[in-house]
Amino acid sequence: MGMVYGIGFILALGLALGLTPLVKKFAVKVGAMDMPNARKVHTRIMPRLGGLGIFFAFGLAFVVLLPWLPDNLLASDRETNLVRALFAGGSIIVLIGALDDRFELSAKVKLLGQIIAACVVVFGFDVTMNFVNIPFGHGNFSMPDWVAIPLTIIWIVGVTNAINLIDGLDGLAAGVSGIAITTILVMAIIMGNTTVILISLLLLGSIVGFLFFNFHPAKIFMGDSGSLFLGFSLAMLSMLGFKQVAVVSFLTPLFIIGVPLSDTFFAIIRRWRNKKPIFAPDKGHLHHCLRELGLSHRKTVLVIYAIAALFGMLAIIQSVAAAHEANWVTFIVVFILLFLLQIGAEVIGIVDKRKKPVINFFSRVIMKTETETQSKS
């Protein structure tokens, strides 16, 4: 089985390496180009549609491997539904993203397409978040359909868009998604979920192959076809990459997509404070703030990779702790994470560059301590 996993990863990577240059030529031919503007970092006209390379590399690798997969890999209806839902919903997402890369669809049309894809997953393949594990409670909490269905749809649409929002620098969205998928892969290995292991490795291989052309200086952008597909894939796998397809720890998926989720949260707070529409684009995202601090393009991306890796490690720690009912570990992880998020947000000014309540509080405490020490001496 390990050999199948390895072959799948290498196959997906090789297909992405071979398909991406072809996708680039296709994007130029059909006019799917990304034009520079005041909000964007790049200064050259760049081909989009790179997500097609990721999607087709992933899909073709799976099709090629399918005859060689062990009979027990897709033995249960849940596992089969997972794969079918991922391909069916993912195809809709990629189509919507590709049309946007070429014709720049309105936000309402894209949202409608994402909702349709989420409904296909929920109603077409019966994939929902039926149970959640409450970190500080006892056991799993069973949700009725009238709660599970809209919650699943909101989760899929929300995570799909979260990846899209951080797609602002060469290699950023692809790398962060790859780190999140690696986190899911590690957790799937721990849990023994062979289906999720295979899907994660195929996605990871496709992303790594694409990154050869997308890391700074990029030769092609993934566009919405890529960022929306990766977001959709993460939404699906973060729900399903555990012992049972329908059981999800309440906090673990939030840690897995911590970077895009926190960036989206801070963007909403920032726009609300500045009395701007929540969906209005701006240059206040995490990567914009790090660039303003003087970091180069590559260093900014690598710093965000490190932050994503930290979130991934916390997700694994929290998941293992939840499995062993070590709630005190979850409490500590959440406390540390919230503290670091607040400090980080104040340091880089992602919400407000002037107001830094926590930093100012500690500064006052330190100054007061130093004053008292000097007075005593």
| C-alpha closest to that of 12 among 48, 51, 54, 52 | 54
b/e per residue 314-331 (b: at least 16 CB within 10 A): bbbbbbebbeeeeeebbe
- Output the CA–CA distances (angstroms, integers) from residue 72 to 38, 110, 246, in the order listed: 53, 37, 19
Q: Which DSSP string do the residues of 307-342 spell out, in sequence order? A: HHHHHHHHHHHHHHHHHTT-HHHHHHHHHHHHHHHH
Beta bridge partners of 249: 133
Could you list the beta-strand ranges (E) of the chain: 33-34, 46-47, 131-133, 140-142, 247-249
Block residue for tokens 């992933």: 58
b/e per residue 13-23 (b: at least 16 CB within 10 A): bebbbebbeeb
Helices 357-376 and 327-348, interaxial angle, to 10°? 90
Does 145 count as an annotated binding residue? no
Q: What is the DSSP letter of 297?
A: H
Distance of CA 21 to the CA centre of its chain: 25
Find out whether 245 and 78 touch, Cβ atoms under 8 Å. Answer: yes
- Output the CA–CA distances (angstroms, integers) from residue 186 to 151, 219, 238, in the order listed: 26, 31, 12
Find out whether 14 and 209 touch, Cβ atoms under 8 Å. Answer: yes
Phi, psi of 140, deg, nearest 5: -95, 145
- Whether cis (ω within 30° of 0) applies to the bond prior to 217 is yes
- Output the CA–CA distances (angstroms, integers) from residue 332 to 102, 133, 257, 359, 361, in the order listed: 46, 17, 19, 21, 22
129-132-136 Cα angle (round to 5) = 165
Does 71 count as an annotated binding residue? no
3-state class of 249 per DSSP? strand
Annotated binding site for Mg(2+): 164, 224
Binding residues: 164, 224
